[in-house]
């Protein structure tokens, strides 16, 4: 069974969805998750750091849920990310190195932002995360490929065309119906079971 997930690396609920879907795949290797890009609005210029710190205190809410990612409010004086495009491009470049490379960087990007207060829109930071993920360093330059940028934009537009008004949004690969929101792990499990049952009944 293949699930298509539209997600943004600056969205705390996407982090929770990523953690839960990873656990779902560990429980059921027949489930495949295809991650696609969604771009939250960019913030021009440098956001006021103190206002941003205040905003990140709201991350405690998703962090208190079961099967959640690890969150902390923003620490230090590093400026926050101003765009979600760079991490999306880095993830697409990692995917060119294979599924294991993508999964490693995918997880690392979320954790670096929400648990380590690192600016994942900064190129040097992205290169550090790439190295920390153990990916062949020569592949990092692929994030500058114009084709990857077109792919990211096309996936974002696809999500909008399907009616995804926010993230995370998921759908079955053979369906255009999207479900928006970070569902509990139990809900993802039920979705998989019911879909399989329906397919058996229709066989």
Domain 2-202 matching CATH 3.40.30.10: the answer reads yes
Answer yes or no: is pLDDT of 202 > 90: no
Residue 155, pLDDT above cutoff 80: yes
Helix axes 123-132, 99-116, angle to 10 degrees: 120
Each residue's pLDDT tens digit, 175-191: 999 999 999 999 999 99
Render pLDDT for 100-142 as a digit per residue (tens, 0 to 9): 999 999 999 999 999 999 999 999 999 999 999 999 989 999 9
Mean pLDDT of 34-55: 84
What is the per-residue pLDDT for 42? 73
Mean pLDDT, rounded, for 164-170: 96
Q: Tokens 């205190």: give the residue.
A: 57
What is the model's pLDDT at position 47?
Answer: 61
> Tens digits of per-residue pLDDT, 59-77?
999 999 999 999 999 999 9
On the question of pLDDT at 46 being above 60, the answer is: no
Contact predicate 120/86, CB 8 Å = yes
User: 45 or 189: which carries more pLDDT confidence?
Assistant: 189
Q: Residue 76 burial by CB count (10 A; 0-12/13-18/19+): exposed, middle or buried?
A: exposed
Could you please report the per-residue DSSP string of 140-192?
A: GGGGG-HHHHHHHHHHHHHHHHTT--SSSEEEETT----EES---HHHHHHHH
pLDDT grade, residue 31 (50/70/90)? Answer: very high
- The widest CA-to-CA distance across the chain, in whole angstroms, is 58
pLDDT tens for each residue of 5-19: 999 999 999 999 999
Residue 20 has pLDDT above 90, yes or no: yes
Q: Which one, of 128, 16, 141, 125, lies nearest residue 79 by Cα?
A: 125
Strands 32-37 and 2-7: parallel
> Where exactly are the structural domains of the chain?
2-202
């Amino acid at each position: 069974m293949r699930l298509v997930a539209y997600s943004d690396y600056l969205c705390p609920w996407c982090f929770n969805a990523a953690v839960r879907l990873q656990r779902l795949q560990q429980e059921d290797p027949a489930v495949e998750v295809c991650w696609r890009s969604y771009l939250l609005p960019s913030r021009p210029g440098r956001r006021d750091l103190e206002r941003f710190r205040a905003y990140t205190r709201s991350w405690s809410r998703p962090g208190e849920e079961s099967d959640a990612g690890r969150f902390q409010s923003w620490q230090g004086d590093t400026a926050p990310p101003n765009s979600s495009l760079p991490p999306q491009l880095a993830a697409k470049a990692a995917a060119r190195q294979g599924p294991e490379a993508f999964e490693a960087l995918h997880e690392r990007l979320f954790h670096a932002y929400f648990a380590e207060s690192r600016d994942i829109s900064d190129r040097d930071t992205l290169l550090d995360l790439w190295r920390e993920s153990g990916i062949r360093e020569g592949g990092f330059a692929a994030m500058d490929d114009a084709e990857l940028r077109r792919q990211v934009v096309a996936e974002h537009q696809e999500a909008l065309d399907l009616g995804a008004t926010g993230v995370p949004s998921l759908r079955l690969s053979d369906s255009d119906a999207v479900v928006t929101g970070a569902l509990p792990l139990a809900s993802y499990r039920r979705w998989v079971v019911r879909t399989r049952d329906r397919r058996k009944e229709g066989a």
